[in-house]
Structure 1
Amino acid sequence: MPDPAATNAPELSVSELSAALKRTIEDRFGFVRVRGEISNYRGPHSSGHAYFSLKDQSARIDAVIWKGVFARLRTKPQEGLEVIATGKITTFPGKSAYQIVIEALEPAGIGALMALFEERRRKLAAEGLFDEARKQLLPFLPSVIGVVTSPTGAVIRDILHRIADRFPRHVLVWPVRVQGETSAAEVAAAIDGFNALPETGRLRRPDLIIVARGGGSLEDLWSFNEEIVVRAAARSLAPIIAAIGHETDWTLIDYAADLRADADRRGGKGGSRARQLASSLADLGRRHAGAMFRLSERRRNELRALLRALPQGEAIVALPRQRLDNAASRLDGALSKGHDRQRIGLARLSHRLAQQSPQTRMARAAERLAGLRQRLRRALETGHDRRTQKLLHAAARLETARTVRARHEQERITATRHRLEALAGRLAHCFKARIAARKTQIKTLEQLLGSLGYRQVLARGFALVRDVNQTPMRLAAEIADGALIDIEFADGHKAAVAGPPKGPGAAKRGAGKAPRKREQGSLF
């Protein structure tokens, strides 16, 4: 088998190669926005993380959403949903694969939102949340009206103005955000909060709840398409009026509410019927006054008849004679009026017959045709102007978006440069502080070593005895007589030969008893 060719390339372990690839990919791409269709999504994992894939016609990429990010997502992943994912590209060394760690998720355009809208509408309709049998009748004149909307928009002022204009009622306003990530939860909490109020008391449950918001795009009104809002409206004990957007803006809460009112009729229908009530009261007042007048006249006539008591024959026929005269005079007038009425009717029929002549009808048809031709011309001009304005508006928005994107990128680069400079300064300061701490520690250890070393003991007048092998001798019994020993003093070494102890004191101590071993204390 031939030997492999010599090379200077360094050998890398699998872990080193995987780490190098991971750093290269993350440095090269950083944050990206990827558009694709969600595939193989089975819901969140038991750990709370979500794993799935993004694919298009010819490629796929693994994706992961961590638990904390998943809880904050406004648009949750769904199988087959086309989305735009924002995150960073990284690698997973355990499978030798690359993946995107998603930090933001949004539907890919109006088409995806409409598909999600229709799917959610069919699901909730199948549960019976939109059935007409579930809808409640609105109170004729509610005492308390609850309003769920933004306290700073024009909608609340419009509602309060309309209610005050028609018939002043007590209004409770529950301020919420009508757009954004938390708006759906706030609207649902407001509806449930109104229904949780007691039925009696100073602060009681409203007789009617109005959920209102001004017009906007489908994305702006998306909070009112969330299931949490629709289910809160469906289980509300108080009737609900949905006043979301304009007449063409439909949301799912419009189907679940008891009545839908667009922005132009907001707060009027169902909110208060003061004009109807005032008209009914005025009509009843007129009828009551007329009835009282007729009753008084009848009582007066009855009283006069009773006072006459046995009237004469002339008096008896006087009233019928007067009635006959009145009827005769009325008959002459009625005949004259009938003749005039017939003559006028005949003139009208003649005029109508003249208008139905072929010449007249052709003239009217010609005028109508000319009017339609003029309307068609105006419509063509108006459509052309509208399309031109729309194109100019789109161009202006595109230019603004490009400028804003460039400014954001420049700001991000500047912020990153400043952060790197700050980190470099902190690193240099930490390095200097660490070196100084280590120097101080070494000096402390040197001082401790000097204070604990045996040379300090020698300096106090002690000596260290070693044998020929330089082994310290701790006891006199360990040294044989005549042995060569080395004695170390504080200022140097001296060689000596061991011998028995000498002197008068030693002889007296040794008489009458066995010799005792001399012990030398430890020098350590």
Structure 2
Amino acid sequence: MDLLDDDMDEGPEAGSNAHEFTVSELSGAVKRSIEDQFGRVRVRAEIGRVSRPGSGHLYFDLKDDRAVLAAVTWKGQAARLAQRPEEGMEVIATGRLTTFPGQSKYQMIVDQIEPAGAGALMAMLEKRRKALAAEGLFDQDRKRPLPALPRVIGVVTSPSGAVIRDILHRLRDRFPTHVLIWPVAVQGQACAGQVAAAIRGFNDLQPGGAVPRPDLIIVARGGGSLEDLWGFNEEIVVRAAADSAIPLISAVGHETDTTLIDFAADRRAPTPTAAAEMAVPVRADLAARLAEASARMARSSALAIQRPRQRLQDLARAMGRPAALVEGPRQRLDIFGARLEPALRQLVQTRRHRLASRPIPAATLRQFTQAKRHGLDRAAARLDQARLRRLERPRDRLAQMQERLDRSLARVTATTRRAIDQQGARLADLTRRLSAAQGRILQARKDRLERLDRMRLTLGYHETLKRGFAVVHGPDGLITSAAKAGVTPQFRVEFADGATEARPVAPRARRAKPAPEQKSLL
């Protein structure tokens, strides 16, 4: 029984007909089954983790609220993706399902990614805008002022579209200038890279090189959908615009279109035509403002000369003659001097009577006289000093006014001399131009006279005589017919080398033809 039981236990194991697979066979069978069943699929999902190793392949997750699908895009296909995968982006991925035997998992090989509607694009755009703004790429202090009058303008756009024609036409109408065109693709996969390379290429040009370095860059494109303009929302384009050392105008799309390059550019134009209007002023308006400024400067210069001159004349009239300043004090001094002598005599006489009536001791008189003499000397000294000071003040004022008058006269003389020199140079230039114009006019008149003389000789009859013709002159003028020549007794025949006299010859009579002989038939 034990033996039977053992045989019964081992029977099913030994008699099973199930196929034994190797791991590789089973993995291959699963791979073929999945690839046959899901050869080409489109998956709507949200992108999760994104990995970009040095190999160039892209590894990311496609997920929804309940499952996660691993996805991979090989290096060659990743470079051709219209939309680069970013975490949190809702997309529609197209590719095929396969397995990865090395880790016993299945994955999707993605060869095409497109945003899942405009809402997803706008959400991604807003997220990118906030990230770049946080880095300070859109700050106002980074904006550079546009040059007032650029000599060279670089335009980054498609050379075959209507945009470049509109820009060139507007620049030609307002202020013609030198334009460099950097041709780029304005939509599609190559757009972002070419636009960024064009902006950096213009900045890499060296001043004074074979190709002139632009003073201003215009990045332009016509209107389109959000997908068409997406190349100008790429990070590489925004960073190139923000790093540009040359002022940059963004003119992408219509007025209602907004791209990220508009925030990084120094100025945003609603249309390419408006960008051209921002770039250059109107030449006619500039010339008018220049003429107005020149006229104002001329008027201001004239007033700046006229007002000091009038002030100087007024001061000169108010100052009067230098001698008149001292005439009054001198006259008062003469009057006081004339009064002093009689007053001194009267004082001496009064004091003499007082002394005679009341004698004063000689010592007291000498002492008094000596004190008064000293006082008189001091008063005389003070009087001399005061007189000198009184005369020095007008003399100093006169010297100051004379110095100011000399300086003003020197300025007026220098200004007048410069004006005379300028007018003399202008007159010399006009004289030189008049002489040159007179010489040109005389030469032109001489050349015209020579041409007319040659035409006269060509059309005259003397040139015709050289070709073998002759002119017949009669007593009453030219003879132009044989009948008139026959009735003229004598006339003169003019040839190219001279003339000779001639007479008409009577025409010879025609001989009668002899009649034919008649032969007799007999």
Query: TM-score if structure 2 supplies the norm length?
Result: 0.53
Looking at structure 2, the residues matched to 292 and 92 of structure 1 have their Cα atoms a distance apart, in angstroms, of 89
1:226-272 CA-to-partner distances (Å, cap 9, x unmatched) read: 11111111111111110011111111111111110011523111333
Q: Quick check: 2:89–2:115 contact (8 Å CA) kept in 1?
A: yes
Q: Quick check: 2:175–2:280 contact (8 Å CA) kept in 1?
A: no
Q: Quick check: 2:145–2:247 contact (8 Å CA) kept in 1?
A: yes
Residue 98 of structure 2, aligned match among 90, 98, 106? 90
Q: CA deviation at 1:90?
A: 0.9
Q: CA deviation at 1:287?
A: 5.2
Q: CA deviation at 1:40?
A: 3.0
Q: 1:152 and 2:160 equivalent?
A: yes
Q: Quick check: 2:31–2:99 contact (8 Å CA) kept in 1?
A: yes
SS of corresponding position for 1:255: helix
Q: 1:278 and 2:284 equivalent?
A: no
Looking at structure 1, the residues matched to 29 and 152 of structure 2 have their Cα atoms a distance apart, in angstroms, of 68
Aligned to 2:58: 50
Q: Quick check: 1:163–1:272 contact (8 Å CA) kept in 2?
A: no
Looking at structure 1, the residues matched to 22 and 243 of structure 2 have their Cα atoms a distance apart, in angstroms, of 62
1:86-109 CA-to-partner distances (Å, cap 9, x unmatched) read: 111112233433211111222222
Q: CA deviation at 1:33?
A: 1.6
Residue 236 of structure 1, aligned match among 244, 255, 279? 244
Q: How many residue pairs align between the two structures? A: 298
Q: 1:37 and 2:46 equivalent?
A: yes
Ranges in structure 1 where 5+ consecutive residues have no aligned partner:
299-524
Looking at structure 2, the residues matched to 81 and 291 of structure 1 have their Cα atoms a distance apart, in angstroms, of 67
SS of corresponding position for 2:99: strand
Aligned to 1:418: none
Looking at structure 2, the residues matched to 291 and 77 of structure 1 have their Cα atoms a distance apart, in angstroms, of 67
Q: CA deviation at 1:10?
A: 4.5
SS of corresponding position for 1:266: helix
1:179-258 correspondence runs (5 A)? 179-258=187-266
Question: Identical aligned pairs, as a percentage?
Answer: 60
Aligned to 1:434: none
Name the aligned partner's letter for residue 70 of structure 1. A
Aligned to 2:32: 23
Looking at structure 1, the residues matched to 266 and 119 of structure 2 have their Cα atoms a distance apart, in angstroms, of 28
1:183-237 CA-to-partner distances (Å, cap 9, x unmatched) read: 1111111111111112124522111111100011111111111111111111111
1:351-366 correspondence runs (5 A)? none
Looking at structure 2, the residues matched to 17 and 117 of structure 1 have their Cα atoms a distance apart, in angstroms, of 45
Given the superposition, is the C-alpha separation of residues 222 and 165 from structure 1 closer, same or farther in structure 2, using an over 3 Å criterion?
same
Greater mean deviation of Cα atoms: 110-119 or 145-154? 110-119
Q: CA deviation at 1:131?
A: 1.1
Greater mean deviation of Cα atoms: 261-270 or 121-130? 261-270
Looking at structure 2, the residues matched to 44 and 235 of structure 1 have their Cα atoms a distance apart, in angstroms, of 25
1:341-356 correspondence runs (5 A)? none
Aligned to 1:139: 147
1:97-496 correspondence runs (5 A)? 97-263=105-271, 265-284=274-293
Q: CA deviation at 1:292?
A: 11
Looking at structure 1, the residues matched to 74 and 301 of structure 2 have their Cα atoms a distance apart, in angstroms, of 81
Query: TM-score if structure 1 supplies the norm length?
Result: 0.52
Looking at structure 2, the residues matched to 11 and 201 of structure 1 have their Cα atoms a distance apart, in angstroms, of 77
Q: Quick check: 2:221–2:253 contact (8 Å CA) kept in 1?
A: yes
Q: Quick check: 2:58–2:78 contact (8 Å CA) kept in 1?
A: yes
Ranges in structure 2 where 5+ consecutive residues have no aligned partner:
1-8, 308-522
Q: CA deviation at 1:282?
A: 4.4
Given the superposition, is the C-alpha separation of residues 267 and 15 from structure 1 closer, same or farther in structure 2, using an over 3 Å criterion?
same
Name the aligned partner's letter for residue 94 of structure 1. G
SS of corresponding position for 2:194: helix
**Who wins on radius of gyration, i.e. which is larger?**
2
Name the aligned partner's letter for residue 58 of structure 1. R
Name the aligned partner's letter for residue 147 of structure 2. P
Looking at structure 1, the residues matched to 139 and 24 of structure 2 have their Cα atoms a distance apart, in angstroms, of 61
Looking at structure 2, the residues matched to 248 and 215 of structure 1 have their Cα atoms a distance apart, in angstroms, of 9
Given the superposition, is the C-alpha separation of residues 100 and 280 from structure 1 closer, same or farther in structure 2, using an over 3 Å criterion?
same
Aligned to 1:63: 71
Q: Quick check: 1:140–1:273 contact (8 Å CA) kept in 2?
A: no
Given the superposition, is the C-alpha separation of residues 201 and 273 from structure 1 closer, same or farther in structure 2, using an over 3 Å criterion?
farther
Looking at structure 2, the residues matched to 283 and 71 of structure 1 have their Cα atoms a distance apart, in angstroms, of 59
Q: CA deviation at 1:15?
A: 2.5
Q: Quick check: 2:218–2:250 contact (8 Å CA) kept in 1?
A: yes
Name the aligned partner's letter for residue 288 of structure 2. S
Root-mean-square deviation (Å): 3.0
Looking at structure 2, the residues matched to 254 and 271 of structure 1 have their Cα atoms a distance apart, in angstroms, of 20
Q: Quick check: 2:150–2:216 contact (8 Å CA) kept in 1?
A: yes
